[in-house]
Amino acid sequence: MVQIACNYCSMANLSEICPKIVLMRHILTIVVLCLIAGCQSAGKKAEKPLNAELLPAGIAPSRIRITDLNYWTEQGQFFVTGVCVNESGAWEQIWLNVALTDEQGRALSVGGAASAVIPAFSSAVPPMGRTSFFAGWPLSGISGVPAACTVREEGSLKVAPGAILLTENVGGVRMMVPEAPGMPTSVEAAWQISAVLNNPLPQSARHPKLELLLYGTDNKLWFSTLLDPDDPQYKSLIVSEKAGPMAGGEKRELGISVHYDQLPAALREKKIGRVELLAFDAR
């Protein structure tokens, strides 16, 4: 078993805030803010969805199913997360369309557009495979108070078949710390997650990546993010017994640390109930 030893999860540093676990969320927010600044003013909806210019050439209709959809407002932003199932019968990279409505069912604009385009995390989803998504927009860029959210397929790009990666034996250990110095009571401060990454087929995987999904004790998905074990900025979060490409039939033990300080308020209040890991070979 991999021994997890990093500043992010060590007991001596549990009071420190590490921003990397929400790196993707912050990047998405920054991108959206920049795009909103260049969009049409609120009150005149753009014909194309927000971020439509990010769609690649050759994108085509697909067939998907959305599960585990969850959305909420927090710290002046509207967030949405969920899981996308590829039901097209082909390997695909998938983009989604997000539309918001208020309590009366009236459509709301996002950055001056009627809807927004977001990518699913995986760049290569096999038939009936799953990938997750997470995005957020400042409420100041939405034309009203969002009360509901719909997510549908915007389009997909066909990609070549490749290695199918599995995550096995996924489990977590709660890390407890004293509620206050000298007090006998303790509080749950972090999770230490272990798993086995498996490339069961003969084909090699050149660039394995992970998707971390965190569900609350209410069984709702509250957070998902993309993790790259080979990226130096994730070294304090992910410990792997080996880096780089995976040979066919190879297995690797993983350790991932998650601290509550940088998670959505619902997870800090309700606590993590279960964890899922998805894996894919990045294109």
* Amino acid found at 123: S
**Do 150 and 167 belong together in one domain?**
no
The model's pTM:
0.83
Q: Residue 3 domain-assigned? A: no
Q: Tens place of pLDDT for every residue, the chain, 283 residues?
A: 332 233 223 222 323 333 344 444 444 443 443 344 344 434 456 679 999 998 999 999 999 999 999 999 999 999 999 999 999 999 999 999 999 999 999 999 999 999 999 999 999 999 999 999 999 999 999 999 999 999 999 999 999 999 999 999 999 999 988 877 877 778 899 999 999 999 999 999 999 999 999 999 999 999 999 999 999 888 888 999 898 999 999 999 999 999 999 899 999 999 999 999 999 999 9
pLDDT of residue 168: 97
Q: Please say which residue of 143, 158, 173 terminates a domain.
A: 158
How many Å apart are CA 193 and CA 190, to the nearest integer?
Answer: 10
User: If we measure between CA atoms, which residue out of 203, 199, 122, 119 comes closest to residue 161?
Assistant: 203
Does any domain span residue 42?
A: yes
Domain final residue pick, 117, 136, 158: 158
| 76 lies in the same domain as 171 | no
pLDDT value for 44:
52
CATH number reported for the structural domain that contains residue 263 in this entry = 2.60.40
Q: How many domains does the chain have?
A: 2
Residues 45 and 116 in one domain: yes
In a domain, 4, yes or no: no
Q: What is the pLDDT of residue 112?
A: 95
What is the pairing mode between strands 186-198 and 251-259?
antiparallel
Q: What is the pLDDT of residue 183?
A: 77
Q: Which two tokens stand for residue 44?
A: 């005149």
**Which segments of the chain are extended strands (E)?**
64-74, 77-86, 92-101, 107-108, 116-119, 130-138, 148-158, 166-178, 186-198, 208-216, 221-227, 238-240, 251-259, 272-281
Q: Which residue is listed with tokens 């940088």?
A: 262
